[in-house]
Amino acid sequence: MAEPFHVDFTGRLTMGVLGNHLLNCAGFHAADRGFGIAELNENHYTWVLSRLAIELEDMPRQYEPFSIETWVENVYRLFTDRNFAILDKEGKAIGYARSVWAMISMETRRPADLLTLHGGSITDYVCDKECPIEKPSRIKVGTDMPVEVYETRYSDIDINGHVNSIKYIEHILDLFPMDTFKEKSIRRFEMAYVAESYYGDTLSFYREEVAENEYDIEVRKNGTEVVVRSKVVLVTSY
């Protein structure tokens, strides 16, 4: 259900909360199949989210029930593609999402070979359900003038000591004036997680309108390294 403190001023679920539900759903689905973070951690491996692309025709309103489906589309040596459907209270798909994950060694931070893990059994879960949205795209920001500079704080940091994946979503949407969302809704939202940032890092946000209603965003830490990139595509309110 879209809880009161999880909707924005328009009364619709926020993108950050939706992202949280998608990532939880991924976590539970993987855990139920023996590939959850807890099991991996025992063997000193962990999942790393690389890309997330969400496309929506609608967003649940305050107090409306909704649900998330997830399935694995592909498993490659170094990446796996996991898709999602966002269903409204009648069970009708109002959006889809794609995500790309790698598995890394927690000691070396190097990628693991997914095809040899558990004797390759992860490929048993590949499912050919359709996900009718585009794959994550290339995001390129041409400007060198930040629209916002932000020093990360206590509430940004997760159990791994990193700025959490959901907080970036909130900070990126906070680059837009509230008026933007009075007349427009988000049709497509993409995140590319490139590097980690930490407590006290200074994040600079660069934003470029690359086409009408289409914004590419890049976040760099401490003046140099790219941390995340994002794309926001707006439409007239749904």
| Residues 160 to 189 in contact with a second copy, rule: CB under 8 A | 161, 164-166, 170, 173-174, 176-178, 180-181
130 φ/ψ angles, rounded to the nearest 5 degrees: -75, 140
| Residues 194 to 223 in contact with a second copy, rule: CB under 8 A | 199-200
4 binds a second copy (CB under 8 A): yes
Angle at 18 between CA 35 and CA 210, to 5 degrees: 110
234 binds a second copy (CB under 8 A): no
Distance CA 86, CA 149 (A): 33
- With the CA atoms of 120, 125, 130 and 135 taken in that order, what torsion angle do they form, in degrees rounded to the nearest 10? -50
Binding window for a second copy (CB under 8 A); candidates: 14-22, 71-79, 80-88, 107-115? 14-22
| Residues 19 to 48 in contact with a second copy, rule: CB under 8 A | 20, 23-24, 27, 37-38
Of 91 and 200, the one with the shorter C-beta distance to a second copy is 200
**How many binding residues for a second copy (CB under 8 A)?**
39
Orientation of helix 15-32 relative to helix 165-173, angle to 10°: 160
Of 58 and 93, the one with the shorter C-beta distance to a second copy is 58
Cross-strand pairs, 20: none
Q: Among 40, 51, 118, 114, which residue's Cα sits nearest to residue 82?
A: 51
- Structural contact between residues 2 and 60, judged by C-beta atoms closer than 8 angstroms: yes
Please name the amino acid found at residue 180.
Answer: T
Q: Among all chains, which residue has been given the structure tokens 């999402």?
A: 97
5 binds a second copy (CB under 8 A): yes
Nearest distance in Å: CB 130, a second copy: 28
Binding window for a second copy (CB under 8 A); candidates: 51-59, 94-102, 106-114, 157-165? 157-165
CA distances to 104, 199, 231 from 136, rounded to whole Å, are: 21, 28, 10
Nearest distance in Å: CB 7, a second copy: 6
Among positions 108, 155, 224, 236, the unique one binding a second copy when judged by CB under 8 A: 155
User: Which positions touch a second copy (CB under 8 A)?
Assistant: 3-11, 14, 16, 20, 23-24, 27, 37-38, 62-63, 153-155, 157-159, 161, 164-166, 170, 173-174, 176-178, 180-181, 199-200
